Amino acid sequence: MRMRASTLPASGPVRRVTPTTIIVLAVLTAHVLMVIFPFVWVAYSTLKTNKEFMRSVWALPTSFSLDAYVGAWSGGALGTYAMNSLWIMAGATVLTVIVATLAGYALAVYRPRWMAGVELSLMAAMAIPAYVALVPLVVLLRNAGLLDTHLGVILPTAAFNIPVSIFIMRAFFVTLPRELFDAARLDGTGEFGIFRHIAMPIAWPAMFTVAVVNMIWVWNDFLFPVVFINSPARKTLPVGLTDFVGEHITNYPVMLAAILIAAIAPLVLFVFFERQITSALLGGAVKE
């Protein structure tokens, strides 16, 4: 990686194209192609027929057929799984956003001495692997009659996503000038009034940001749904997908279409809300 000879002092922000630039560009392009290849491959393979797929697994399709998608959608319960995922995603996301907004606001605006302890506990909670709580959660949910229900997945999922979401919200609320709150206090506005009428109205974009990342996390989550849900009719998409793949082991394009259907929702969210998602990941992780 020693390439000093090729770099001349650039004039201003415009950089000259040097051999280094070209080499680095080539290497990074090759690497990026490797990273996204599986996703490109799955997309074009679903256009093949099974016969064509078996003839040449990695070649581009010669025909254009959407039969695999029809087969995937009608050959199993993907629609049901998707609806289940949607409900759990909606429930856990709404709960997380509300709870994290309140707590993130408190963390940013109020600084009593014990707040440092709260922050530390939240960071500790972020480090805890969810599987550690698996057996006790099964007992807890069974006793509460919530095992094998969507609510039984929503509550622990939200609880595990709340700490990081709080830090994302806090990162937003600390950017608000303190004078905003102090002025309102002098006017005699109560603490909840300040939150409701001053902080909340400008917090929507941050709340939306937290919502989008949580939607992706919950949609993709596997551990809690696979353990807490048994009824096929209540399974989520990633869990149902593993069943589906086992049942369609002989028809590869159909199997791949099912995988793509499961992967598409987060990718669509990412395409549309790239800025919010990246800022959320930065806001939540930059915390040390």
Partner 1 sequence: MTSSSRDVAPKGQTRAALLFLLPAFVLIAVFVAYPIVYAGWLSFFRWDGASAPTFVGLDNFLRLATDAIFWKSLGRNILIAATAIVLQVFLALLIAYCLVRIVPFVSRLFLFFYLVPVMVSEICIGLLWRFLYNPYFGLVNASLKALGLGWLQRGWLGDSATAFPAVVVVMSFTYLGLYVLLFVAAVRNVPESLYETAEIDGAGHFTRFFSITVPMVWDAVRANTLLAIIGSLKTFSLVFVLTNGGPNQASEVVSTYLYKAGFSSFEMGYAATIGFAQIVLTAAGAFVIFRYLKRARGGNER
Q: How far is CA 132 from CA 122, 163, 229, in A?
A: 17, 17, 18
Min dist CB 209 to partner 1, Å, is 14
The span of 13-21, 61-69, 70-78, 201-209 binding partner 1 (CB under 8 A) equals 13-21
Among 51, 175, 177, 186, binds partner 1 (CB under 8 A): 186
Nearer to partner 1, 168 or 227 (CB): 227
Site for partner 1 contains 195 (CB under 8 A): yes
Site for partner 1 contains 103 (CB under 8 A): yes
The span of 62-70, 73-81, 202-210, 216-224 binding partner 1 (CB under 8 A) equals 216-224
Q: How many angstroms separate the CA atoms of 276 and 212, rounded?
A: 8
Q: How many angstroms separate the CA atoms of 189 and 179, rounded?
A: 14
- Do the Cβ atoms of 169 and 104 come closer than 8 Å? yes
Among 30, 66, 70, 115, binds partner 1 (CB under 8 A): 115
Among 129, 179, 249, 250, binds partner 1 (CB under 8 A): 129
Nearer to partner 1, 67 or 159 (CB): 159
Residue 11, phi then psi, degrees to nearest 5: -90, 115
**Interface size with partner 1, residues (CB under 8 A):** 101
Site for partner 1 contains 285 (CB under 8 A): yes
- Nearest to 191, CA basis, from 113, 119, 114, 109: 109
Site for partner 1 contains 263 (CB under 8 A): yes
Site for partner 1 contains 57 (CB under 8 A): yes
Site for partner 1 contains 246 (CB under 8 A): no
The span of 60-68, 69-77, 138-146, 201-209 binding partner 1 (CB under 8 A) equals 138-146
Site for partner 1 contains 89 (CB under 8 A): no
Min dist CB 66 to partner 1, Å, is 20
Site for partner 1 contains 131 (CB under 8 A): yes
Site for partner 1 contains 254 (CB under 8 A): no
- Do the Cβ atoms of 234 and 86 come closer than 8 Å? no
Site for partner 1 contains 91 (CB under 8 A): no
Nearer to partner 1, 90 or 133 (CB): 133
The residues in 140-169 that bind partner 1, with binding defined as CB under 8 A, are 140, 155-156, 158-160, 162-163, 166
Site for partner 1 contains 30 (CB under 8 A): no
Site for partner 1 contains 51 (CB under 8 A): no
Among 30, 60, 116, 128, binds partner 1 (CB under 8 A): 128
Please state the length of the chain.
288
